[in-house]
Amino acid sequence: MENKKAGFLANLKYDLPASIVVFLVAVPLCLGIALASGAPLFSGIIAGIVGGIVVSLFSGSPLGVSGPAAGLAAIVLTSIPALGGFQIFLLAVFIAGIIQFILGVFKAGIIGYYFPSSVIKGMLAGIGVIIFLKQIPHAFGYDKDPEGEVAFVQPDGQNTFSELVNMIDYITPGAVIISFISLGILILWERPFIKKFAVSQYIQGPLVVVIFGILMSLFMTDLFGLVLAPEHLVSLPVTDGLASFVGLLTFPDFSQWNNPAVYMTAVTLAVVASLETLLCLEATDKLDPQKRVSPTNRELRAQGVGNMISGLIGGLPVTQVIVRSSANIQSGGRTKASAFLHGVLILICVMAIPNILNMIPLASLAAILIMVGYKLAKPSVVKQMYAKGRGEFIPFMVTIVGIVFTDLLTGIALGMALSVFFILYQNFLHPFFFNAKDYVPGKPIELKLAENVSFLNKGSILMSLNKLPNDSQVIIDGTMTKRIHPDVVEIIEDFEMNALTRNIKVEVIGLDEFDHHSPVDVFRKVMGNGEAKENKTLNKLFTSNISKS
């Protein structure tokens, strides 16, 4: 216990500043996702508090931050009216949490280890690109699309690129001034000479940007004759202490426990939320400077607990979210205390100082998120993936393009499909090892089978064996093979029979345990005793060739 306490205190100087940055990023995202989901705004705040405080207590992820996820917004938007109300939807969220917890108990989190690195890195870069593009309109003062929207096609019929055109007619000079100066501050804060000052270790650049944004919004009229309208500022529901906060909570309608539609929605939420969490968990671990590995099953259980509580008190479904997690990492967070503290900050500020938070310009937050997006999708990342070859680079790029032009899960599915294709293609090409440089004419051709030979290798092996020259000698070496599909064994047996008619001497070693039979046994099995007597000529030819072998 003392070691944990010492570790907490030792890292507090890193985790506290990071939690403030994550808090500043999370608040407008919570509100924006609630708005995009067609849910009460306060439900997004509840989910942010639960994701910060509750999930972090049960999670084993040191840097992951949970909260309402944009990837679930479309499901929430359609589910609330389909079920007949928000309270019935909350019951589905609660049941989804139970399902997630059960998935964690039965160790379904192992799925998270099977996502290729190229897809995970593509997801990070794709999220970076989409954050960058989505925040440009906010930086210019065009705030029609809510914060947190990441899908290409928006609920209003516009898309990511059409919004970049639309913003030209709605440029707000005050927002442009704040966002451009904010970007300058963030870039300056990263310079080595700034890092030499001790204050930079305790006060992160995003916090400076937010304070600057509040001051500018207050004094901009006097300085430049400009003013920011309310829609250009954070719009947090105002509460008056604990009693008012509790009064805004909404509770699920348990009378709908026997409604099949509730369970269908719950299963959908549980599956999608679990996949998004596992993907973000893997991505966060890759961004972790210490390269720690988070327990996936524990994370599913933590998310399950979080969704049960969020559903019980009126919150949106939660997942681990890469935007907040990457902001946490980039701000220097070291342990899950930063995620916990960010949830505490949301709770305290919503109850105590909502009016101050409502002074924060969205342009300031847009500048912060633009920097987050750029760091996730730096050109150097693309160069690194290109250097790894097309088998890694193409799925990486397809994942990015898919995320930008569709949504998170669709983009990942496209990247996964292409990765699987490359894996199958490589298996098709390399079911065995043959070094042409070592081959000496007149000597036996040695084919060493791979450790695992599946049915996917049938075509490649069949074509390779058919191309072997007549009057040659072949050794098929399966001594290193641990698994071989019966169809492949059958192909080898068929080739042994065919080789007799081509004067090819075949030696098969190491496949006896896989029910490999000699060509004589195969021939007798195929022909049968009666038919063999009627095919004496073929039998004689067969036996003659065997003796020559």
533 has a pLDDT exceeding 90:
no
The Cα–Cα gap between 521 and 182 comes to 80
| Residues in contact with 289: Cβ distance below 8 Å, sequence separation at least 6, in sequence order | 329
| Residues in contact with 4: Cβ distance below 8 Å, sequence separation at least 6, in sequence order | none
Closest by Cα among 294, 290, 262, 254 to 278: 294
43 has a pLDDT exceeding 70:
yes
Determine the pLDDT at residue 422: 80
| Least-confidence region, from 146-155, 372-381, 383-392 | 146-155
Q: Where are the alpha helices (DSSP H) in 229-359?
A: 241-247, 260-287, 296-313, 322-330, 337-352, 354-357
**459 or 434: which carries more pLDDT confidence?**
459
Written as six digits, the tokens of 62 are 């040191």
- Give the CATH fold of the 432-548 domain: Transcription Regulator spoIIAA (3.30.750)
**Per-residue pLDDT tens digits for 238-275:** 777 777 788 888 999 999 999 999 999 999 999 999 99
Residue 452 has phi, psi (to 5 degrees) of: -125, 120
Written as six digits, the tokens of 256 are 């709908």
Written as six digits, the tokens of 383 are 């160069």
> What are the extents of the domains in the chain?
2-150+157-379, 432-548
Per cent of the chain over pLDDT 90 is: 48
189 has a pLDDT exceeding 80:
yes
**306 or 504: which carries more pLDDT confidence?**
306
Three-state SS at 68? strand
Determine the pLDDT at residue 420: 84
Per cent of the chain over pLDDT 70 is: 88
Determine the pLDDT at residue 205: 87
| Least-confidence region, from 109-118, 356-365, 397-406, 518-527 | 518-527
Residue 380 has phi, psi (to 5 degrees) of: -65, -30
Average pLDDT over residues 525-532: 47
Amino acid at 61: S
Query: Which helix (DSSP H) or strand (DSSP E) does residue 318 occupy?
Result: strand 318-320
Residue 446 has phi, psi (to 5 degrees) of: -105, 120
214 has a pLDDT exceeding 80:
yes
**449 or 412: which carries more pLDDT confidence?**
412
354 has a pLDDT exceeding 80:
yes
Residue 459's CB is within 10 A of a number of other CB atoms, namely: 12
Contact 484, 514 (CB under 8 A): yes
Three-state SS at 153? strand
pTM of the model: 0.77
Q: Could you give the dihedral angle defined by the CA atoms of residues 67, 71, 75 and 81, in that order, rounded to the nearest 10 degrees?
A: 60
Strand partners, 480: none
**192 or 308: which carries more pLDDT confidence?**
308
Average pLDDT over residues 340-350: 94
17 has a pLDDT exceeding 60:
yes
Give 434-503 as a 3 state SS string: CCHHHCCCCCCEEEEECCEECHHHHHHHHHHHHCCCCCCEEEEECCCCCEECHHHHHHHHHHHHHHHCCC
Question: How confident is residue 521, by pLDDT bands cut at 50, 70 and 90?
Answer: low
Distances (CA, A) of 99 to 90, 308, 312: 14, 10, 15
Determine the pLDDT at residue 50: 97
Question: How confident is residue 427, by pLDDT bands cut at 50, 70 and 90?
Answer: low
371: number of CA atoms within 13 Å, CB side?
27
Contact 285, 60 (CB under 8 A): no
**Per-residue pLDDT tens digits for 284-334:** 998 999 889 899 999 999 999 999 999 999 999 999 999 999 999 999 999
Residue 87's CB is within 10 A of a number of other CB atoms, namely: 17
Average pLDDT over residues 163-171: 91
Q: Where are the alpha helices (DSSP H) in 248-259?
A: none
pLDDT, mean over the chain:
85
**Per-residue pLDDT tens digits for 150-164:** 788 887 788 899 999
Query: Which helix (DSSP H) or strand (DSSP E) does residue 104 occupy?
Result: helix 86-105
Residue 357's CB is within 10 A of a number of other CB atoms, namely: 22
Amino acid at 435: N
Residue 142 has phi, psi (to 5 degrees) of: -105, 100
Three-state SS at 37? coil
Determine the pLDDT at residue 3: 56
